[in-house]
Amino acid sequence: MADQPKPLMPHATATWLVDNTGLSFEQIAEFCGLHILEVQAMADDLAGSKYTGRDPVHAGELTQEEIERGQADSEYSLKMQRAPVAVSRTKGPRYTPVSKRQDKPDGIAWILRNHPEISDAQIGKLIGTTRNTIGAIRDRSHWNIQNIQPKDPVTLGLCSQRELDAVVAKAAKKVAKEEGEAAPVEEVSGVSDRDRLIEELRAERDANEKAAAEAAQEAEAEEWLRAKRAAEEAGEATPVSDEGF
């Protein structure tokens, strides 16, 4: 079941399953690819975000028979009936979520500082911005230049590491071709300085992401335990089984 695809909208699907079925939290968490504490928080209305339920039966991801089989056996793992179709954009400029658009200037500034060999056209395609914006940041005439702090666009979620590496390699090759010589890369034991730097950045980013995820899970667990203790102290019956903790 580890390789089974997840619902298109896992949190909304989990909300619907909590409200409309008798499936266990473990079953819902496994099917939606969520942590059991997230499902627990949804059931207790402790989640920071409220989601509108999404019916997986109507979406074709589950059948009613599969739900009934799961309700009859709490150890049963729900099986996806039809995996969601991946949606991809093949034309037009890169789409950037509204919540990340304010990070674009920081990402542009980082590229200009660390990879001056990348052209404005390449930056525009990679980040999804205009040459006017890039030029304004380069010559420091941007209206918000005082608040722009160079930050890795990969860390900001503006592009993937693979996309950035490809652009850097392409730009370096173009510069080397124009200069009529190979791009200078010092090799040490078969590994270049640039490769080592990329690996170090990836390791640092992975460590930060892991720490953030662990902190979020610990916070959710503490919130759940705090709510449970409060309910016990008030003499209320706990509506949720402690199974799985």
Q: Which of 225, 235, 224 is nearest to 42 (CA)?
A: 224
Which pLDDT value is given to residue 183?
A: 46
pLDDT in tens, 160-191: 888 899 999 998 888 888 777 544 555 444 55
Inter-residue contact 109 to 145 (CB < 8 Å) = no
**Residue 14 three-state SS:** helix
Which pLDDT value is given to residue 134?
A: 92
10-20 and 25-32 helices, crossing angle to 10°: 160
Inter-residue contact 108 to 137 (CB < 8 Å) = yes
Which pLDDT value is given to residue 105?
A: 92
Single-letter code of the amino acid located at 145:
I
pLDDT in tens, 27-58: 999 999 899 888 888 888 766 567 788 899 88
Which pLDDT value is given to residue 148?
A: 92
**Residue 136 three-state SS:** helix
Which pLDDT value is given to residue 188?
A: 47
The CA distances from residue 115 to 57, 110, 175, 191, 223, in Å, are 49, 8, 12, 20, 44
Inter-residue contact 83 to 5 (CB < 8 Å) = yes
From the number of C-beta atoms within 10 Å of its C-beta (0-12, 13-18, 19+), residue 108 rates as: buried
Going by the DSSP 8-state scheme, the letter that residue 120 receives in this structure is H
Which pLDDT value is given to residue 49?
A: 62
Which pLDDT value is given to residue 99?
A: 52
Q: What angle do CA 207, 29, 33 make, to 5 degrees?
A: 50
193-233 and 36-43 helices, crossing angle to 10°: 40
Q: Which of 116, 202, 220 is nearest to 167 (CA)?
A: 116
Centre a 10 Å sphere on the Cβ of residue 92 and count the other Cβ atoms it contains. Answer: 7
List the pLDDT tens digit at each of the 245 positions of the chain: 456 888 888 888 999 999 899 999 999 999 998 998 888 888 887 665 677 888 998 888 899 999 999 999 988 999 988 776 555 555 555 555 555 567 899 999 999 999 999 999 999 888 888 889 999 999 999 998 999 999 998 888 888 888 899 999 998 888 888 777 544 555 444 556 677 778 878 888 887 787 777 777 777 777 887 887 777 777 755 455 554 44
Cα separation of 225 and 37, whole Å? 10
Which pLDDT value is given to residue 65?
A: 92
